[in-house]
Amino acid sequence: MLYSVAAETGLMANELRSLKKLLFDFKSCTVTVKVGHTKNNKKAVLSLRRNTALALQQFLAEKMPRAPAFKMQGKCRMADMMKVDCEAIGIYCENN
Protein backbone atom coordinates (compact mmCIF):
# COMPACT_ATOMS: atom_id res chain seq x y z
CA MET A 1 0.00 0.00 0.00
CA LEU A 2 2.85 2.34 0.80
CA TYR A 3 4.27 2.03 -2.69
CA SER A 4 0.84 2.58 -4.28
CA VAL A 5 0.32 5.81 -2.34
CA ALA A 6 3.87 6.95 -3.09
CA ALA A 7 3.49 6.26 -6.82
CA GLU A 8 0.07 7.92 -7.12
CA THR A 9 0.86 11.01 -5.07
CA GLY A 10 4.57 11.59 -5.59
CA LEU A 11 5.00 12.00 -1.83
CA MET A 12 8.50 11.76 -0.41
CA ALA A 13 9.51 9.47 2.45
CA ASN A 14 9.08 12.12 5.17
CA GLU A 15 5.66 13.07 3.81
CA LEU A 16 4.59 9.42 3.73
CA ARG A 17 5.94 8.93 7.25
CA SER A 18 3.69 11.77 8.50
CA LEU A 19 0.44 10.20 7.25
CA LYS A 20 -2.13 9.03 9.78
CA LYS A 21 -5.32 7.10 9.13
CA LEU A 22 -7.44 10.19 9.81
CA LEU A 23 -5.76 12.07 6.95
CA PHE A 24 -7.34 9.77 4.36
CA ASP A 25 -10.82 10.65 3.08
CA PHE A 26 -12.09 7.44 1.56
CA LYS A 27 -15.29 9.00 0.19
CA SER A 28 -13.56 11.75 -1.75
CA CYS A 29 -10.52 9.55 -2.48
CA THR A 30 -7.98 12.02 -1.11
CA VAL A 31 -5.14 12.18 1.37
CA THR A 32 -4.11 15.34 3.19
CA VAL A 33 -0.54 16.15 4.12
CA LYS A 34 -0.47 18.75 6.87
CA VAL A 35 1.51 21.99 6.95
CA GLY A 36 5.03 21.35 8.15
CA HIS A 37 5.24 17.92 6.56
CA THR A 38 5.36 19.01 2.91
CA LYS A 39 8.40 20.18 1.00
CA ASN A 40 6.85 23.63 0.42
CA ASN A 41 5.48 23.81 3.99
CA LYS A 42 1.88 24.12 2.74
CA LYS A 43 -1.09 21.81 3.27
CA ALA A 44 -1.59 19.44 0.35
CA VAL A 45 -4.75 17.53 -0.56
CA LEU A 46 -3.92 14.86 -3.10
CA SER A 47 -6.20 12.62 -5.13
CA LEU A 48 -6.09 8.85 -5.00
CA ARG A 49 -7.52 6.41 -7.50
CA ARG A 50 -10.82 4.95 -6.30
CA ASN A 51 -9.48 1.39 -6.12
CA THR A 52 -6.48 2.58 -4.12
CA ALA A 53 -8.74 4.43 -1.67
CA LEU A 54 -10.86 1.29 -1.23
CA ALA A 55 -7.78 -0.87 -0.66
CA LEU A 56 -6.42 1.67 1.83
CA GLN A 57 -9.71 1.70 3.69
CA GLN A 58 -9.42 -2.05 4.20
CA PHE A 59 -5.68 -1.85 4.94
CA LEU A 60 -6.21 0.81 7.64
CA ALA A 61 -9.49 -0.58 9.04
CA GLU A 62 -7.97 -1.95 12.28
CA LYS A 63 -5.86 1.14 13.01
CA MET A 64 -6.82 3.95 15.36
CA PRO A 65 -7.42 7.34 13.64
CA ARG A 66 -4.14 8.91 14.84
CA ALA A 67 -2.05 5.80 14.18
CA PRO A 68 0.64 6.03 11.50
CA ALA A 69 -0.73 4.75 8.21
CA PHE A 70 2.50 2.95 7.32
CA LYS A 71 5.26 1.28 9.29
CA MET A 72 8.42 3.05 8.22
CA GLN A 73 11.62 2.57 10.20
CA GLY A 74 13.78 5.60 10.99
CA LYS A 75 14.87 8.12 8.40
CA CYS A 76 15.31 6.19 5.21
CA ARG A 77 15.14 7.16 1.57
CA MET A 78 12.42 5.52 -0.52
CA ALA A 79 15.05 4.11 -2.91
CA ASP A 80 16.91 2.43 -0.03
CA MET A 81 13.66 1.03 1.37
CA MET A 82 12.64 -0.34 -2.03
CA LYS A 83 16.05 -1.96 -2.46
CA VAL A 84 15.71 -3.79 0.87
CA ASP A 85 12.16 -4.88 0.05
CA CYS A 86 13.11 -6.08 -3.44
CA GLU A 87 16.04 -8.08 -2.12
CA ALA A 88 13.80 -9.59 0.59
CA ILE A 89 11.51 -11.05 -2.08
CA GLY A 90 14.36 -12.26 -4.26
CA ILE A 91 14.64 -9.43 -6.78
CA TYR A 92 18.29 -8.54 -7.28
CA CYS A 93 19.05 -4.82 -7.06
CA GLU A 94 22.44 -3.68 -8.28
CA ASN A 95 24.13 -0.74 -6.52
CA ASN A 96 24.91 2.12 -8.85
Q: Locate all alpha helices (DSSP H) within the chain, ordered by sequence.
A: 2-9, 13-17, 50-59, 78-88
Q: What is the topology classification, in CATH, of domain 2-71?
A: hpI Integrase; Chain A (1.10.443)
Q: pTM score, two decimals? A: 0.78
pLDDT at 38: 84
pLDDT at 95: 60
pLDDT at 88: 79
Tell me the domain boundaries of the chain: 2-71
Distance from C-alpha of 14 to C-alpha of 58, rounded to nearest angstrom: 23
DSSP state of 45: E
Run means of pLDDT, 10 residues per run, the chain, 96 residues: 91 90 97 90 95 97 96 71 76 65
Chain mean position to CA 64:
16
